[in-house]
């Protein structure tokens, strides 16, 4: 694939940036749903001068007019958007607003993050050289778990985008063959998204007298929370606890056993506090491109019990730093959790195995450097 090299590159980054970390640009309230926790530390890692001009463009339904600011040596442009009725029009108003900004700034490259919203679509249809970074592979998710109409719409739109894109990034080796089938013309680069530096600074100090596993994520069937709840209802785990962090349709499930503690959504500081006390992380997911919580758990030193159905299986090695179980296999899930939660020393050793290697992989500056290299090779479409 031909590339053109620049001494200085102007990149427009279209992304659902979590604006609550920049209170002067929004209400300061954290989003109610899932948000890209890896983007703020990436922006911070890009603060040093490197000859690349980054202009972030994001939408916000809390403002009425265009807002701008400079943070971490990067320009942020916030555009007003509607709360509802956006997807059904193929994001026509949003794409027009983004396109107007792109015509003004004339970027060398447009980087669209995620097919869950307008950003990848706006990048691919912008008329400028573009690269897409995947967050979730929606067209894979809908085949493996029950999904609503909007998810199916976005999945079909994703297939259209992947057929058109020529440059694509994913965050796991697991995702590459799935995307290659959907985007046969694309050059695919694997770039793992990093964990926030706060997780590197945390100390894992589980209480030997209180064996507990922690689940973090959307409390929904795709994440496999139902399997975790069934496992903790078994006699083998009745003397242990499951801490559930997150919100979703299965939150406070009425059939949950009494040893399940529902903690709701937590800010990063409180999440780190709870993870530091848990013996292990459990994520029996049906489909995940590369869940950041597994990376966060590994840089803290937690062993992980998860499934082969996602990018996290790239760095959880069976019996070494955790266990891999098939989704729906409650007996095996229960057995693996019991191994960890019944033997503190065994659990600690599993957490320490591969810990330093994982910390080296999931640094935000490593992610930033890989994107920096990619930006200097702007694809000629």
pLDDT at residue 326 in the model: 97
- What is the bridge-based pairing of β-strands 378-379 and 260-264? unpaired
Total count of domains within the chain: 2
**Same domain, residue pair 104 and 156:** yes
pLDDT at residue 4 in the model: 42
pLDDT at residue 257 in the model: 93
- Spell out the per-residue pLDDT of the chain, length 381, in tens: 334 444 578 999 999 999 888 877 765 566 666 677 899 999 999 998 888 999 999 999 888 899 999 999 999 999 999 988 898 899 999 999 999 999 999 999 999 999 999 999 999 999 999 999 999 999 999 999 888 898 999 999 999 999 999 999 999 999 999 999 999 999 999 999 999 999 999 999 999 999 999 999 999 999 999 999 999 999 999 999 999 999 998 887 778 999 999 999 999 999 999 999 999 999 999 999 989 999 999 999 999 999 999 999 999 999 999 999 999 999 999 999 999 999 999 999 999 999 999 999 999 999 999 999 999 875 433
Q: Give residue 98's domain range.
A: 3-194+363-379
pLDDT at residue 146 in the model: 86
**Same domain, residue pair 54 and 166:** yes
Write out pLDDT tens, residues 313-353: 999 999 999 999 999 999 999 999 999 999 999 999 999 99
pLDDT at residue 380 in the model: 38
Q: Please give the Cα distance from 293 to 312 (Å, whole number).
A: 10
**Same domain, residue pair 149 and 234:** no
Contacts for 320 with CB less than 8 Å, ≥ 6 apart: 350, 353, 354
pLDDT at residue 31 in the model: 62
Would you give the distance in Å from CA 310 to the centre of its chain? Answer: 12
**Same domain, residue pair 10 and 155:** yes
**Same domain, residue pair 124 and 225:** no
Angle, helices 268-277/292-300, rounded to nearest 10 degrees: 60
Q: Please give the Cα distance from 365 to 320 (Å, whole number).
A: 26
Locate 157 and state its tokens. Answer: 């739109």
With beta carbons less than 8 A apart as the criterion, state whether 281 and 304 touch.
yes
CATH of the domain at 140: 3.40.50.2000
Q: Please give the Cα distance from 244 to 214 (Å, whole number).
A: 6
Contacts for 56 with CB less than 8 Å, ≥ 6 apart: 13, 15, 17, 43, 74, 75, 76, 77
pLDDT at residue 6 in the model: 43
Kindly state the DSSP code that residue 93 receives in the 8-state scheme: H
With beta carbons less than 8 A apart as the criterion, state whether 204 and 212 touch.
no
**Same domain, residue pair 329 and 371:** no
**Alpha helices for the chain (secondary structure H):** 39-45, 92-105, 119-124, 138-141, 149-164, 175-182, 197-201, 225-231, 268-277, 292-300, 330-341, 344-352, 355-361, 364-375
**Same domain, residue pair 120 and 250:** no
Q: Please give the Cα distance from 294 to 310 (Å, whole number).
A: 11
**Same domain, residue pair 219 and 150:** no
**Same domain, residue pair 180 and 282:** no
**Same domain, residue pair 176 and 212:** no
């Amino acid at each position: 694939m031909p590339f053109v090299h620049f001494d200085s590159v102007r990149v427009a980054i279209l992304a659902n940036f979590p604006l609550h970390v920049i209170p002067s640009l929004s209400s300061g309230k954290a989003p109610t749903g899932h948000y890209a926790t890896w983007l703020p530390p990436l922006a911070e890692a890009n603060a040093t001068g490197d000859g690349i001009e980054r202009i972030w463009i994001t939408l916000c339904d809390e403002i009425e007019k265009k807002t701008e600011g400079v943070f971490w040596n990067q320009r942020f442009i916030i555009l007003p958007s509607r709360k509802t009725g956006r997807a059904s029009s193929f994001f026509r108003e949003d794409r027009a607003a983004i396109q107007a900004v792109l015509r003004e700034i004339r970027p060398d490259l447009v980087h669209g993050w995620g097919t869950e919203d307008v950003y990848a679509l706006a990048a691919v249809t912008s008329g400028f050289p573009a690269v897409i970074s995947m967050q979730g592979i929606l067209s894979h998710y809908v085949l493996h778990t029950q999904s609503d109409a909007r998810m199916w719409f976005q999945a079909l739109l994703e297939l259209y985008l992947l057929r058109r894109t020529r440059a694509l990034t994913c965050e796991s080796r697991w995702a590459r063959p799935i995307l290659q089938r959907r985007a046969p013309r694309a050059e695919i680069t694997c770039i793992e998204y990093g964990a926030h530096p706060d997780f590197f600074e945390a100390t894992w100090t589980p209480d030997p007298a209180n064996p507990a596993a922690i689940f973090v994520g959307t409390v929904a069937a795709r994440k496999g929370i139902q399997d975790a709840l069934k496992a903790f209802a078994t006699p083998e785990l009745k003397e242990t606890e499951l801490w559930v962090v997150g919100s979703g349709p299965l939150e406070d499930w009425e059939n949950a056993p009494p040893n399940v503690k529902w903690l709701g959504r937590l800010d990063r500081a409180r999440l780190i506090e709870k993870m530091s006390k848990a013996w292990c992380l459990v994520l029996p997911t049906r489909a995940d491109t590369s869940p950041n919580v597994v990376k966060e758990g590994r840089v803290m030193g937690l062993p992980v019990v998860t499934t082969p159905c996602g990018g996290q299986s790239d760095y959880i090695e069976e019996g070494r730093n955790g266990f891999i179980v098939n989704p729906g296999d409650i007996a095996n899930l229960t057995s693996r959790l019991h191994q960890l939660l019944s033997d503190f020393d065994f659990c600690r050793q599993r957490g320490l195995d591969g810990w330093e290697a994982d910390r080296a992989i999931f640094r935000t500056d490593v992610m930033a450097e890989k994107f920096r290299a990619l930006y200097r090779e702007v694809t000629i479409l």
